[in-house]
Every structure is written in structure tokens, then in C-alpha cells.
């Protein structure tokens, strides 16, 4: 029995019953343009489209304690101070429960006769996060309570925010209206967007300076503002925050409900100002009007739940094993939606800074999600194809905000191009939308080109065919699907990437896995050509596949299993002759999926 939690299949939630989990257990919020990660103690952050370039709130990775900063609610009951999410105060709770659901997280804490529940979610059609707060007096005494909602603003570019202190200590800016704190750093100079933290009920105080609310030498576990009350501080540089102070008087069995809105808004460049030096708040006001009441919040939450009902209704399987059923029908589909939204760009381990949307990753993700959101899959395919260069190579990652390739990581991961034919074939099989093949999709290095998606598919196959090594197997480049299998780059300079620096000139490192992947992709392309009535092209694809199969047979079979690769010096990797790393699963799987060894029993032997 797991002492930390359990699945609630009826509500489609994972219920965590103690806050001190072995690691923070996070959930993903958002389905469109505004996203967040939230842990079981309300740690995490939110952002608009891009976790690096449009980070809304600040989060501290690899900090002590772990999972520092988030969406915090402080409660003061007399002299007793606590948080319903346990952190950051970590006062003992009589009851704690976190429910991670589909795009929602609800955290409940009870202490000394007061129960506080906070539900976090991103409503459909909004670029904001809702904190739906319910406070209940479960004691026999009247309660005079003071609560604080707290966020710390990130100065938009998350990497710059955590490195460029000599500048950023001077740039933070806010504006304040009743019940709302606006983060407007650089709005005056070069941005057309701002963030907001709004409270739906009248407040008794606010703060926008972290030093004023927390204290220069205090921590979030013991903020000065919680002991002494908010001071109405206005941040000028340093660390801007958003804090709302709410006072409640509750009789026994009485409850109160209100909500916070944490969001992002943009104005056209020509319509930035309400008055001289004051940001135009119209986009925020429209949101606040539409989410003004608890009934509005309930309707938004119900719409989100209904959207998930629709998505999960697309596919359902009946299996006797409850664990398989739960994963196949709910949680795996929730996971592929998360990877569609974020790829691997933001999590507890990926900071949202060092990478964008992965080319390989995103194509793979489409294989699992095309049945759920075919229209978004279509656009993602076109976005990915647009990061391919005219020589057939691909940017390994791209930034979701700009949709431009990440030049810091660059190209050279030689399996990347082959994933596009697989994702496109899956999309066509699911939708029958062959019009996508004639969509204009310029090459990244030739923005005026008239290339179509079909051109990209054929270029992807040609790239692998043109880049083969001495055994007739595909050259691996920087790496293939196994990014840790680094056979070409041998950096001797500290700080350089082991994956992209220190290339050996004239390297002959080859990948048996890519060879198998090429065979599989060739089958898919032949299928596509035949559907289009292009029999000669189908035969050419199959002929190339047969030649690759012969290369695998001659140089990729090790007697009992498929080799993994040849290194830069032509030595075998994944062989029985190796001292370690004698067998790798990737080459077994992809060679067999590509049809190699099926007729003579080698596939069964390798497995």
C-alpha cells in the first residue's frame, strides 16, 4: 500500500495524503497558450507559450529546500500561521490532501478548526490561472482570519532573470489598482505585455516588494508581512511580487469563497497606454469581468472538465487489468496531452530554459495524441517541418514562442529527419487529410522557398540515404534517439556540450538504430506513395529499404542480437565482444519494426 497516495478512478484524480512525498509530485495546468506546473505543495510556476521567454512567475530549481517558490496562500489565525499546502511554513496539519486531476490541482489543509481548500486550473479560452479558494470554520468558535495570496514575478526571460542581476535589480516595475497588482517590467521600454495578480474580493492590504513582505533576511517560511501585515509597498527594481491580504470573520460552520486570477495580457503596439505612463488594462478587465464571481469560476471549471470528457471519449478500451485500464484510458492520454503542449521543455527536471520543443520528441508525441487533437497535430507537423533546413538536417529544438530553431543546440542529430514521415503517416491514417501534403512549408534557411510538406518528407528520407558510412549504415551525427550514446563529440573544454562540441573530423560513427528506423519509415513512405498512385516512387523507397536491410544483415547483426552502432573509429558498440554495454534495446526494437529478421527467426532471438 502506497503511504503517500492513491488513484481515485471515479474522479480521475491522484490523491496525495501527506505532503512530504519522496520528491515533489507535479501536475500540468493549461491546454492552449497559458501553462503551469504545480507540485503537491503548490510549488511551480506559470508561463505564456514559452517557459523561457514568457515566464510569468519565478521558481528556483535545485534550491534548498527543494521545490521553492510557487502559488502560496498563508493563513493567520490569531498568532498561529500556516499554509494549507504545507509549504513554505510547514506547520503540522490535522488534515492534508492534494488531488492532481486532468488540468486541475486541488489542495486542502486543516488546522485548529479552519479548513482551507484551493483549486488551481487554467480555464479554456483564457491566458490565466484561477485559484479558487474556500475557507471553512469547522470549529465551535468564531474565527477572525487573515489570509495572503503570494506570487513572485519573473522578469519574463527566465535565463536572464536568474543570471543578469546587475541589470535586473534595477528594472522591476509594477502598477497597482484596487484588488490587482500588475507586473509591467520593460513595458514602457520594449514590451507590449504585462502580467496580473487579481483578487475577486476587497483586500485589506497589498505588497509588491519582496523585501517589504518577506524581509531581506527572512524566508518564505516566515514573512514579515504575515506577522505585521502588508505595508502597501511599491517595487522599484529588486524583486517585485504580488501579495493580497484578505480579512475574514467566520462564525462556526460558516464558510467563505473567493478567487485569485494570475495571468498574462498583451496589447497591440499602437494601443499600449491608458494614459501617459500607465499600461492599458483592457485585456485584463475583460478577463476579470468574465471571471468575476464564483459562479463564473464554476462554469469555467465545468467547461474544462467537459473538454476532458470529450477528449477521453475519443478512445476507450476494456481490459481485465485495472492498472492497464487506468493508464490506457486516462493517464497515458493525459500524459500525451502534456507532451503535446510542452514537449520536454518544462518539468521538475527540465527548467524550461535549456531547451525548447524537441524535433524528435514532438514528432514522437504526435503518434500518441493525433487521435485526440488532430487539428493541433496538423499545425505542429507544419511547425516542425519549418525548422528543417534545405539540406535535410533539422534543428534539434525550437522555441515555441518564436517557432525558430534553437541555434545554441543546432542540428546534427541524424535520426531527427526520419521522425517526420512517421508523424505525418500517423496523421494521414487518422484523419485522411491529404491536403496537408501540399501545404507550403519553407525551409528554415530558405524562408522564401516554395517547399511543400511532401518535399520535406522526401528530403528527410534522402538525408539519411546520402549520409551513410563505410558499412552502408546511417551516420549517427551528434547522437540518435539515445542522446547519451555520444560517439562523435569529444569535448575537452569545460562548459562545452558533450553532445554538440568537439566533433571528430571525418568521423565514421554509424547507427544501426537509425538503419532500422529508416527501414520502418521507408515502409510508411511506400504506403503513402501507393495511396497517391506513385508506384515508381513506392518501388524506389522499397529498393532503398532492401539495400539498408542488406547492410544491417551484413554489418549490424552480431550473432544473437543487433549491434547498436559503430563508433568514430569503426569499433562495434553493443556487441558480445564488448566489455560492457553488450546489448541495447533501441536497435533491437527498430530493426524489428523495420521488418529485419522477421523471416529467419533472428527477430525472435534478439528479443
Active site residues: 483
Question: Residues 504, 508, 509, 514: what is their CA dihedral angle, to the nearest 10 degrees?
Answer: 130
Dihedral angle sign, alpha carbons of residues 307, 260, 126, 53:
negative
CA 424 to chain centre: 22
**In this structure, is the dihedral angle defined by the CA atoms of residues 80, 86, 351 and 55, taken in order, positive or negative?**
negative
**36 burial level (CB within 10 Å; 0-12, 13-18, 19+):** buried
What secondary structure, in 3-state letters, does 539-604 show?
HHHHHHHHHHHHHHHHHCECCCCECCEECCCCCEECCCCCCCCCCCHHHHHHHHHCCCCCCCCHHH
Q: Which residue has the cell 551528434?
A: 478
Q: How far is CA 417 from the centre of its chain?
A: 22
Question: For residues 329 and 336, what is the distance between their CA atoms, to the nearest angstrom?
Answer: 12
Written as nine digits, the cell of 266 is 498583451
Nearest in space to 457 (alpha carbons), one of 510, 407, 522, 516: 522
83/105 Cα distance (integer angstroms)? 16
Return the ∠ at Cα 13 (arms to 62 and 137), rounded to 5°: 90
DSSP 214-268: T-TT--TTS-HHHHH-------BSS-EEEEEEEEEEE-TT-EEEEEEEEEEEE--
**Other CB atoms within 10 A of residue 149 CB:** 26
Residue tagged 497559458 (cell numbers):
34
3-state percent breakdown (helix, strand, coil) of the chain, nearest 5: 30, 25, 45
The residue written with cell numbers 549517427 in the block is: 476
DSSP-derived secondary structure letter, 440: B
Q: By three-state DSSP, how is residue 324 classified? A: helix
Q: Burial, 23: exposed, middle or buried (Cβ in 10 Å; 0-12, 13-18, 19+)?
A: exposed
Strand 273-275 to strand 510-511: parallel, antiparallel, or no bridges (unpaired)?
A: unpaired
Amino acid at each position: 500500500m502506497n503511504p503517500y497516495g492513491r488513484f481515485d478512478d471515479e474522479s480521475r484524480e491522484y490523491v496525495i495524503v501527506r505532503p512530504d512525498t519522496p520528491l515533489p509530485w507535479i501536475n500540468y495546468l493549461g491546454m492552449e497558450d497559458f501553462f503551469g506546473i504545480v507540485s503537491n505543495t503548490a510549488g511551480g510556476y506559470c508561463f505564456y507559450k514559452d517557459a523561457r521567454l514568457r515566464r510569468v512567475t519565478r521558481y528556483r530549481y535545485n534550491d534548498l529546500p527543494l521545490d521553492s517558490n510557487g502559488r502560496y496562500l498563508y493563513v493567520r489565525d490569531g498568532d498561529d500561521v500556516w499554509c494549507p499546502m504545507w509549504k513554505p511554513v510547514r506547520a503540522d496539519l490535522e488534515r492534508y490532501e492534494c488531488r492532481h486531476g486532468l488540468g486541475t490541482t486541488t489542495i486542502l489543509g486543516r488546522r485548529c478548526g479552519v479548513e482551507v481548500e484551493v483549486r488551481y486550473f487554467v480555464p479554456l479560452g483564457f491566458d490565466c490561472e484561477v485559484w479558487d479558494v474556500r475557507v471553512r470554520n469547522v470549529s465551535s468558535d468564531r474565527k477572525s482570519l487573515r489570509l495572503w495570496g503570494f506570487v513572485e514575478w519573473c522578469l519574463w526571460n527566465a535565463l536572464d532573470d536568474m543570471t543578469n542581476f546587475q541589470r535586473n535589480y534595477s528594472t522591476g516595475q509594477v502598477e497597482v489598482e484596487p484588488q490587482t497588482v500588475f507586473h509591467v517590467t520593460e513595458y514602457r521600454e520594449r514590451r507590449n505585455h504585462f502580467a496580473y495578480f487579481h483578487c475577486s474580493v476587497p483586500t485589506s492590504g497589498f505588497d509588491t516588494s519582496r523585501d517589504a513582505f518577506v524581509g531581506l533576511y527572512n524566508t518564505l517560511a516566515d514573512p514579515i508581512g504575515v506577522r505585521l501585515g502588508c505595508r502597501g509597498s511599491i517595487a522599484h527594481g529588486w524583486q517585485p511580487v504580488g501579495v493580497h491580504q484578505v480579512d475574514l470573520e467566520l462564525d462556526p460552520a460558516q464558510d467563505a469563497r473567493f478567487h485569485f486570477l494570475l495571468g498574462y495580457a498583451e496589447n497591440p503596439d499602437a494601443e499600449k497606454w491608458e494614459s501617459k505612463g500607465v499600461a492599458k488594462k483592457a485585456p485584463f478587465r475583460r478577463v476579470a469581468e468574465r471571471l468575476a464571481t464564483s459562479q463564473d469560476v464554476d462554469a469555467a471549471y465545468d467547461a474544462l472538465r467537459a473538454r476532458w470528457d470529450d477528449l477521453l471519449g475519443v478512445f476507450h478500451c476494456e481490459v481485465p487489468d485495472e492498472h492497464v485500464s487506468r493508464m490506457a484510458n486516462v493517464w497515458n492520454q493525459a500524459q500525451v496531452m502534456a507532451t503535446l503542449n510542452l514537449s520536454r521543455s518544462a518539468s521538475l527536471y527540465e527548467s524550461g530554459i535549456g531547451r525548447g520543443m524537441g524535433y524528435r520528441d514532438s514528432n514522437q508525441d504526435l503518434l500518441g495524441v493525433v487521435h485526440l487533437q488532430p487539428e493541433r497535430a496538423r499545425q505542429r507537423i507544419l511547425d516542425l517541418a519549418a525548422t528543417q533546413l534545405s539540406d535535410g538536417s533539422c534543428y534539434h529544438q525550437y522555441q515555441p514562442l518564436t517557432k525558430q530553431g534553437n541555434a545554441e543546440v543546432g542540428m546534427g542529430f541524424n535520426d531527427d529527419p526520419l521522425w517526420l514521415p512517421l508523424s505525418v503517416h500517423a496523421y494521414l491514417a487518422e484523419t485522411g487529410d491529404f491536403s496537408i501534403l501540399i501545404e507550403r512549408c519553407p525551409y528554415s534557411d530558405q524562408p522564401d522557398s516554395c517547399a511543400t510538406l511532401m518535399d520535406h518528407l522526401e528530403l528527410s528520407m534522402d538525408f539519411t540515404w546520402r549520409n551513410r558510412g563505410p558499412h552502408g549504415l546511417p551516420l549517427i551525427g551528434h547522437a540518435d534517439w539515445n542522446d547519451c550514446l555520444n560517439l562523435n563529440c569529444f569535448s575537452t573544454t569545460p562548459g562545452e556540450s558533450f553532445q554538440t562540441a568537439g566533433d571528430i573530423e571525418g568521423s565514421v560513427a554509424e547507427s544501426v538504430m537509425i538503419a532500422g528506423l529508416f527501414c520502418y519509415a521507408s515502409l510508411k513512405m511506400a504506403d503513402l506513395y501507393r495511396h497517391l498512385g506513385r508506384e515508381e516512387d513506392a518501388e524506389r523507397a522499397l529498393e532503398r529499404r532492401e539495400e539498408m536491410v542488406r547492410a544491417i544483415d551484413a554489418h549490424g547483426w552480431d550473432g544473437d542480437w543487433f549491434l547498436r552502432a559503430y563508433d568514430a573509429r569503426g569499433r562495434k558498440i553493443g556487441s558480445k565482444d564488448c566489455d560492457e554495454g553488450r546489448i541495447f534495446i533501441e536497435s533491437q526494437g527498430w530493426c524489428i519494426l523495420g521488418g529485419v529478421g522477421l523471416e529467419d527467426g533472428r527477430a525472435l532471438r534478439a528479443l
